[in-house]
Every structure is written in C-alpha cells, then in structure tokens.
Amino acid sequence: QSQFYKQGTEEYQKRRNNYNHWLKEQATLHKAMFVSHTFGFQYLPQIVFNGSETARQQSVIAHYFDGIDFKDTLLLHTNDLKNFITAYVNIYASLAKTQADLDSLYPLIGKTAIEKARLGNPKLYGWMVDYFYNGYESTNMPAGIKMLEPYINDTACLTTKRQAIEKRLKGIKTLTIGTLAPDFMLKDDAGNDVLFSKYKSVRHCEGGTARPEFISGTEAISAKYKLLLFWSADCSHCKELVGKLYTWYNQQPVNTPNGASYPLVEVFALSLDESETEIPIWQNAITQLPGWKHIRCEGGINSPEANAYFILSTPVMFLIDNKTNKICAIPENTDKLKQYLDEISKK
C-alpha cells in the first residue's frame, strides 16, 4: 500500500471518529426529541483498511451495530430499524460467492443480529426474532427456522411469533424425507372424492396429441412423482416460482411405456387463496397453467390441507413418490427440485 493510500485511510478514520462524536453530541443535545433516537442509524462503523476487500466487509459487519442502543424501545416506532437490519443482511450476504454459501450464511446472519439484540430490551430482542422468522418463512428456509428454536424457549424474548415458530419446527421435525405424506381428500375430474394417496394420473396419446386425464385406482399408469405445491396466485414469491416451475414442467422428460405418454412429475397446485379479491386472481392464473391439478383449499392457511403440512406461508413444495406416498424431497425452489431429480436419476 502506498503512502498516499495510508494517509487517505488515516484521514478517513479521523473524520469518521469526529463525525461519530458529533453525532453522539447531537443525540444528547436533542434527547427530548423523538428524532434523536434515530441518530444511531447514521453511525459510521469502523473499517479495517489494511487487508482484502472481504476483510473490510467483515470489519464493517463486526462493528455494524456499534451505534445502536438495543435498550431503546423507541427504535421500534421507526421505519429506520427495519431498513437498517435489511441493509445489514444485504452487506453480510454479499460475502457469499455461491448460492450454497448464501444458504449457509443466512442462519448465521440472523443469529449474529439476534445475539446483539438479546443484550438489550426484551421487546427489541423479540422484534429481531420476528424479523428473521418472517424472512426465513417467506423464503422457505428450514435451517433459519431451526436456528430460532433456542430463542423461543427464552422467556426473556418477547417475540410475537412464538406459536408460529413452534408450529413450523414441529412440521420440520414431523415431515422429513422418508415419512408418509399426510393424506387428504380431493376430487377427480369426474367429481368423485378420492384420497391423494390413491390418486393416479395418466396421459393418453390420441392422434399424436398428449391429453392429460386424472383417474383414481391403483392400476393406472402414472407419473413417478407427485409434486405438492402450496401457493397463492396473489403472492409475488409464488408467481416467480410458478413461472420457473411451469417452464420446467413443460420441458421435463416424458416416459412412453405401452404407447402412453406421461411426465416424470405431476403437479398438484393447492391454492390458499380465500378472499374475494384473491379468488378471481387465482381463477385467472390457473387458465395459464393447463396440465396441473388445481385445488383451492377452503380456509386458506387454516385449511385442513395446510395444517396437515404445517404451512404458514407460501410457496412450499413437497416431492412425493407415487408408489409409496413417501416424501422424497422438500425443495426450496425449482433448481433444488431439478437437482434432486438429476441426482436420483444417476443412481
């Protein structure tokens, strides 16, 4: 490093210290004003310049919360707190080089922030747990949910999500790879009630065109796997996943024994839409998704189907073996689904 660079970093540190000192003085001077409680969000964290770019990022992360007083419950009444934590998550996540790195980092990101808040007021401690629960749940990240378990067992943690986290943890422990998929009733195309475990699908070729038909019975030719997709047509995460999943669905390999054509995976899309505004959106969306079996669960997130699979948010997928009705995989996205099917096909 050049002398000029060293002089620059030293000058920066000097000005940073002066600025932070001034910020603290202003907070004290205007302590009677609500806005003074937000000044800590403007604190400039320490940066170690004599190292790599990664080392500099790590130093920022290590000192990110230095200016925050987690004993100050007035922080809960600002939008700045959420924005501040979101920025922290993004800075920390930028250390990841691959998707696998990112998946392993997210639970650590949450744990680091929660441990900081744990030293402060129980309300802020609980808010931090709520924040990361919402993030992990919306992105279907079981590893993150599991990380939260010690905190919901801490009576000092005033989280509003205790019951939801407990339910999700029970689902993670209950619905594991190799366990039987919970059964539920649905109707076949003839309008007959049939158990999901007994439901078979087949594609017959007529005049060179594959036409999907769904029938019940154990003698039917069917896809090797069933994919249960819990979704909402009014959910942005769902729209993104469904778009990628449907593209893959139409490109997946097709088996043709005895002249019958059928895909490797059949999709059962269970909608949790239930409001007057959501249902029309769902009705319109499914017209763009022919080939899937569409079911709207009465009661939405509180429906028997959603409760059986411990669903608290969407989207969530379960890949199920058609013969055994056992859960094969719980893919977080379409890429994970394809990865599992590619790996199993090589065995």
- pLDDT attached to residue 98: 85
Same domain flag for 156 and 191: no
Stretch (H or E) spanning 318: strand 316-321
- 135 vs 171: CA distance, rounded Å: 18
Rounded CA gap, 167 and 163, in Å?
A: 6
Residue 170 lies in a domain: no
Q: What is the pLDDT of residue 213?
A: 42
Give the range of the structural domain holding residue 218, as residue numbers without chain letter.
Answer: 185-345
Q: Where are the alpha helices (DSSP H) in the chain?
A: 3-29, 53-62, 80-93, 99-118, 122-138, 142-147, 149-152, 162-174, 236-251, 278-286, 304-308, 334-345
Are residues 190 and 331 part of one domain?
A: yes
pTM of the prediction?
0.75
Domain assignment of residue 203, yes or no: yes
Domain count of the fold of the chain: 2
Q: What is the pLDDT along the chain (347 residues), one digit of tens a residue?
A: 788 989 999 999 999 999 999 999 999 999 999 999 999 999 999 998 888 889 999 999 999 999 999 999 999 999 999 999 999 999 999 999 887 788 889 999 999 999 999 999 999 999 999 999 999 988 888 899 999 999 999 999 999 999 999 999 999 899 999 999 999 998 876 778 889 998 865 444 443 333 344 444 434 557 889 999 999 999 888 999 999 999 999 988 666 555 555 678 999 999 999 999 999 999 999 999 999 999 999 999 899 999 999 998 899 999 999 999 999 999 989 999 999 998 887 76
Q: 10 Å Cβ neighbour count for 281?
A: 16
pLDDT at 262: 66
Q: What is the pLDDT of residue 211?
A: 38
The H helix count followed by the E strand count for the chain is 12, 11
* 205 lies in some domain: yes
pLDDT the model gives residue 324: 94
Does a structural domain hold residue 229? yes
pLDDT score recorded for residue 255:
62
Q: Which two tokens stand for residue 273?
A: 């839409």
Question: 319 vs 110, 177, 310, CA distance in Å?
Answer: 28, 10, 15
Domain contains 173:
no
Residues 113 and 197 in one domain: no
Are both 143 and 278 inside the same structural domain? no
Closest CA to 67 of 36, 95, 94: 36
* Residue 259 buriedness (CB in 10 A; 0-12 / 13-18 / 19+): exposed
What distance in Å separates the CA atoms of residue 58 and residue 64, rounded to the nearest whole number? Answer: 10
Q: Are residues 30 and 120 in the same domain?
A: yes
**Statement to judge: residues 146 and 221 lie in one domain:** no
User: Does the CA dihedral 117-120-124-126 come out positive or negative?
Assistant: positive
Same domain, 274 and 319: yes
